[in-house]
Structure 1
């Protein structure tokens, strides 16, 4: 198998939404620090830069899953898993909580909650529990909002994980393996059946099973098994035993 070049590895890392967010945090800290340094001296400037970075880390941690929460499936993941079990009789196989390797030497903190492989293709489903008190809306299939919160980063993250999985699986099975990213949302009412936003399918969590039904068959049973076996080896469990 062809080893990834340093250029391709670097490009994959820079495409990681998490790395882009940290890069902007660092830039914001430096800009704030320089501005205060010019006005009030380097000591205060350094303090402000550190406070900007720490404040952004705290803000993101409150909006994201904590490390402890990643040690076991969430309630939303379990609800989706229960729905997907019934698809096995229709030729679908599912891998839950799979890590997304960045390259052959390491694993990113990306995770696909449910990788579904079946006659109609391959799907990366992420299960999300959102505050039911806040409405969900879209703008021109390009923006997704939960109340006042723009979910662009979450959609970009889901799309990046699917793209990485697609590339990794294609290398191992020898043919193109498109992986469709999607987000199953529990909590708030979703005013549509399935909406594609920034190339990510978005729908109510209780429609996860229906989302996969009535789609045209594009993979043979042999294709499904080859992709499944490749995914078992290439995408390690996020929750190791």
Structure 2
């Protein structure tokens, strides 16, 4: 290791490859500790269950209530442990964010008159993961994931990813939205304003699950579908939706 000492063995936590690889490695190595604490929690649940059984004069079934509560505690702790790892799947590269978001958008929006086009690009220029056209207007949705401890927030109108500015990310997607809007307006004659979004698959969002800053909205895929579905209908009629969707399918390159 450059700058290191031959007499001091390097700490493997600070060497190696990507953060995702190390996250998964240490998560798996810590599994015995988590399992041990799960047994302890289940034991406490058993004691509480027995005490509750005795408290309510269920002496004959107190052991059963103890086992039941212990099982619930064990299962609940296992589920929370699994979920904390599962929600990092896109960040770790185990799942594809665009596939998840595309499925959510189609299931939620198509029955409400929306068209969802996946993986589109202006030839030789900008590309986006999803283009959504419907009664409430037009949206582009890209997919991103950050480390599980990165807080996504807006301070004084500026976008932040942890301690880093998010202005570059916001500017790039806003410019993509403008480029797509210009192309669709020019080809169809229908005035189009496109709302850019990022579907966040990993990272810490605020309690309401939405961050709006610098012309960009960041939110979970299901929240994105709800927000689009809740937009005021009547911005586009059926013929305009059909025209815009056909034009987008023809003029925008699949990626």
1:23 counterpart residue number: none
How far apart are residue 100 of structure 1 and its match?
2.5
Q: Relative to total residues, which structure has the larger strand share, 1 or 2?
A: 1
2:238 counterpart residue number: 221
1:137 counterpart residue number: 153
Distance 2:167 2:138 in 1: 23
Question: Residue 170 of structure 2 is aligned with which of 140, 155, 178?
Answer: 155
Q: Which has the larger radius of gyration?
A: 2
**C-alpha contact 1:194 1:211 (8 A) present in aligned 2:** no
**Matching of residue 118 in structure 1 with residue 140 in structure 2:** no
1:194 counterpart residue number: 210
Distance 1:179 1:159 in 2: 9
**C-alpha contact 1:120 1:219 (8 A) present in aligned 2:** yes
How far apart are residue 228 of structure 1 and its match?
0.3
**C-alpha contact 2:97 2:143 (8 A) present in aligned 1:** yes
When normalised by structure 2's length, the TM-score is 0.59
1:92 counterpart residue number: 114
How far apart are residue 134 of structure 1 and its match?
1.5
RMSD: 1.6
Deviations 1:173-206 (A, max 9, x none): 1121111111111112210343321111222234
Distance 2:112 2:212 in 1: 25
Alignment of 1:1-241 (within 5 A): 75-86=96-107, 87-101=109-123, 107-108=124-125, 110-141=126-157, 143-191=158-206, 192-217=208-233, 218-238=235-255
When normalised by structure 1's length, the TM-score is 0.62
**C-alpha contact 2:153 2:211 (8 A) present in aligned 1:** no
How far apart are residue 154 of structure 1 and its match?
0.9
How far apart are residue 208 of structure 1 and its match?
2.0
Distance 1:94 1:77 in 2: 12
How far apart are residue 140 of structure 1 and its match?
2.1
Distance 1:97 1:196 in 2: 24
**C-alpha contact 2:170 2:216 (8 A) present in aligned 1:** yes
The runs of 5 or more residues in structure 1 that have no matched partner are 1-61, 63-73, 102-106
Distance 2:220 2:148 in 1: 12
* DSSP 3-state at the match of 2:190: coil
CA 1:133–1:195 in 2, change beyond 3 Å: closer, same or farther? closer
How far apart are residue 126 of structure 1 and its match?
0.7
Task: Point out the more displaced range, 195-204 or 150-159.
Answer: 195-204
